[in-house]
Structure 1
Amino acid sequence: MTAAVNITRLLDGAHLRADLAQRGADRLMVTFDYRRLDRDGFGPFVPSEQFAEAGFDQLMIATRDNDWFINSDTPALESVCRDLRRRYSTAQALGYSMGGFGAFRFSRALGLSHVVAVSPQVSIAPQLVPFETRYTCEARRFDPALGDLTANFDAGLQGHILFDPFNLSDLTHAQMLHVLYPRVALVRLPGGGHPCTRILRDVRRAGLIQALAMTPSRGPTALQSAHRAARANHPAYWRGLQHAAATRHPLWSSIARQSAANMADAAQDGVDEGGDSA
C-alpha cells in the first residue's frame, strides 16, 4: 500500500502550473503536459500510482495553452524547479511530444539525471525547424530565445528519445536533439505514429514506457521487443512503411500497402462476422 498523497501547488500562474504529489519519497519524477487539440485551459492533475509504488514523488507541470511552456511564467517555473530539486536525491522526467520538449527545456533547472522523451521537438521556431509544419499557429507565439535549448542544456543528461523513424519531422527532431544531448539514446519505434506509442498502446504495453522512465538502467530492450512483436500485425506499421518507402523503394511500398489493405479487410470481416453472430 502506498503512503497517502499530499498535493501542493507550487506555481499557480496565469499560464503555467506546477503541482507536487508528495508521499515522503526522496526521488522525484517530473511529468509534463502534452499538446491537446481540444485544450480549454488547464486539465486535472491525476498522480500516477505507478510512480508512487516505485518510490517517487511526482511533479506535474501543466500549461493553459499549447505553448510548449514558453510564456511569461517560464522564469518563475525555472525558479520553482531549482528550489524543489534541493529536496530530492535524484530527479527524472517523462514527457510526450510538447511535454518531451518541456523535459529538455527544464532539465537543467530540475537537475535531471535521466529523461524519457516520446516524439519530442527540439523547437517549434520556424527559423530553427523550417521543416516543422504541424504547429504553425503555436509557432507564431513561440519565443525562440526563451525556448532555445542551447542556452539551457546539460550535455551530460542521459535517457532515451523514442520516435517513429517513418515520421520524417520526428526523425529530424530526434537527430537534432541527439546532437545537443549525445548521451540520450535514440530508440526507434517504426510505425508508432505521433507520438510513437500507438502500437504499444493498442497491445496494452504502453506501461513499458513508464517503466523505462522509472528504471532507465533496464534499457529499452523490452519496450522495443514488445513493439517489434506487435507491429507485424498492425496496419499502422505497414501504412507508415508504405509512405516511408514510396520514393526510394517503390516495391516495398507496394507490398506494405497491400499488407495494410489485407489487414483492414480482415478486420472488417471480423466486424461483419461479429454482427452476424449477434
Structure 2
Amino acid sequence: MADDLSKEQLQPEHPDRKTGYERILTDPAPPWFVELYPGGDGAGFLQKLERHSVLFHQRSASQLVVSFDNIANANDLSFAREPWGWKFFRDEGWSHMGVFARTKAWYRDPEIISYFKNRAAEGFFERFEQVVFAGASMGGFGALAFSELMPGANVVAFNPQTTLDERLVPWETRYRFGQVQDWDLPFSDAAQTVKQAGRAYVFYDPFFDLDRRQVTRLQGENVVLLKTWFSNHFAAPMLRKLDILKPVMQKAMNGSLEPDEFYRMMRARRRLPMVMRAIEAQAEERHPQLVQQARRRFRVLRRAAMTEGAS
C-alpha cells in the first residue's frame, strides 16, 4: 500500500513533524499498542478525544491507577509515546488508565472533565477495590483534582500545582498558557478536592518557593507532604537517581508509606552531585564554612558509594 502513495502525500505538514502515516512507517510501535492491537494479548481500549486521549489496560481486577501527563509530554507526537508511569504500573500488575494530554491546558477542558464524570457515574472506578491517582507537575494537579470523583482513593503527586487560578494564587508566575484557561470549570482547586482523598502523598522541594507555596495550600490529616530537599521541580527524577523511586511508589500507592521511613531512604541524597551543587548555590555566600564542611562530607560519601559499587 505504501507504494501507492506519492512522496508528496508522505511529506510532514510541518518540517519538524512527521505525518501520522509516516510515524507508523518509521517509528517502533509502543509496548501498549503491542498489547492492545487486534492480535495482542492485552485487554483494554484507547479513546481519542479532541485534546486528550485515554488509554486503559485491564490487568488487576482489584487495583487501578489513573495517571496524568505532565507538561513535558504535551507536545510529544511520537508514535512510541506512553502514558506517565506506564512501564512501572505494567510491571506492578495494576490496571491502568493513562491520560494523554495534547495541550498544556492543565485539564481545564470540558471534554476531559465530562469524560471522567461520565466514567464515575457509570461506576467504572467503583469496580476496583483500590484506586490511585498519580502524576507529576501538571499531571500531579490532574491527579489531585480528579481524585474527588473516587472518594477514598490515594493520590501520589510529584511537584503538583494546586491551581493556576490567579484569584487564588496571584503569586504564581509560571505557566502562562495554563493560567488563561477556564478556572471556573469543576475540579479547579486541588486544595478543595484533596479533602475527599484517602492518603495524598505530595513530594516537593521546600527550597523551591513556588512549589512550596502551592503544596502548602493542601491541608488535612490525609495529606502527607514529603520534602525532597534540593530537587527543585524534579522530585521524581531525584528519587530515581537515589534508586528509591520504585519502593516509594509501591508503598505510596497502597497507602503504607510513612514519613519516617521515607526520610531514612532520602538520607542517600547527600551523595548526589545535584544536591551538593544546590547547597553551594544557596549557601556559599551566607555560610561558607558550612558549605566547606558539606563538601568534605560529600567527598567521603561519594568515595564510599564508589567503593560499594566496585565491590
Category of TM-score, reference length = shorter chain: 0.7 to 0.9
Aligned equivalent of 2:256? 217
Larger Rg: 2
Contact 2:205 2:231 in 1 (8 A): yes
Aligned equivalent of 1:206? 245
Task: Work out the CA distance in 2 between the residues paired with 1:120 and 1:114.
Answer: 15
Contact 1:92 1:214 in 2 (8 A): yes
The answer to whether residue 291 in structure 2 is matched with residue 256 in structure 1 is yes
1:182 is displaced (CA, Å) by 4.1
1:246-275 superposed Cα distances (whole Å, 9 cap, x missing partner): 8xx9116x74389579979xx9xxxxxxxx
CA gap of 1:260–1:8, structure 2 versus 1, over 3 A, is farther
1:90 is displaced (CA, Å) by 2.5
The answer to whether residue 164 in structure 2 is matched with residue 115 in structure 1 is no
1:176 corresponds to which of 211, 217, 223:
217
The answer to whether residue 177 in structure 2 is matched with residue 137 in structure 1 is yes
The answer to whether residue 66 in structure 2 is matched with residue 25 in structure 1 is no
In structure 2, the gaps of 5 or more residues are 1-40, 303-311
Amino acid across the alignment from 1:237: V
Task: Work out the CA distance in 1 between the residues paired with 2:251 and 2:183.
Answer: 31
Q: Give the RMSD, CA atoms, in angstroms.
A: 3.2
1:233 corresponds to which of 265, 271, 278:
271
Contact 2:132 2:253 in 1 (8 A): yes
Contact 1:125 1:144 in 2 (8 A): yes
Contact 2:62 2:127 in 1 (8 A): yes
1:195 is displaced (CA, Å) by 2.5
CA gap of 1:260–1:13, structure 2 versus 1, over 3 A, is farther
1:171 is displaced (CA, Å) by 0.8
Task: Work out the CA distance in 1 between the residues paired with 2:259 and 2:119.
Answer: 28
The answer to whether residue 201 in structure 2 is matched with residue 160 in structure 1 is yes
CA gap of 1:87–1:33, structure 2 versus 1, over 3 A, is same
1:24-58 superposed Cα distances (whole Å, 9 cap, x missing partner): 52221111111117724587336745434544211
Contact 1:41 1:65 in 2 (8 A): no
1:174-202 superposed Cα distances (whole Å, 9 cap, x missing partner): 1012x2x4411111110122121333222
CA gap of 1:16–1:192, structure 2 versus 1, over 3 A, is same
Aligned equivalent of 1:85? 125
Aligned equivalent of 1:275? none
Percent identity for Structure 1 against Structure 2: 23
Aligned equivalent of 1:8? 45
Q: Secondary structure at the match of 2:166?
A: coil
CA gap of 1:92–1:112, structure 2 versus 1, over 3 A, is farther
1:153-179 superposed Cα distances (whole Å, 9 cap, x missing partner): 2524222111111101111111012x2
1:103-142 superposed Cα distances (whole Å, 9 cap, x missing partner): 11101123352111111001122332222222123322x2
CA gap of 1:42–1:60, structure 2 versus 1, over 3 A, is farther
TM-score under structure 2 length normalisation: 0.70
Contact 1:15 1:65 in 2 (8 A): yes
Contact 1:166 1:244 in 2 (8 A): no
Q: Secondary structure at the match of 1:160?
A: strand
Contact 2:226 2:259 in 1 (8 A): yes
The answer to whether residue 178 in structure 2 is matched with residue 128 in structure 1 is no
1:58 corresponds to which of 90, 96, 121:
96
Task: Work out the CA distance in 1 between the residues paired with 2:290 and 2:194.
Answer: 44
CA gap of 1:257–1:63, structure 2 versus 1, over 3 A, is farther
Contact 1:27 1:90 in 2 (8 A): yes
1:217-274 superposed Cα distances (whole Å, 9 cap, x missing partner): 1434444323222x2222322343445558xx9116x74389579979xx9xxxxxxx
1:208 is displaced (CA, Å) by 2.7
Aligned residue pairs: how many?
A: 254
Q: Secondary structure at the match of 1:58?
A: strand
CA gap of 1:32–1:38, structure 2 versus 1, over 3 A, is closer
TM-score under structure 1 length normalisation: 0.77
The answer to whether residue 111 in structure 2 is matched with residue 99 in structure 1 is no
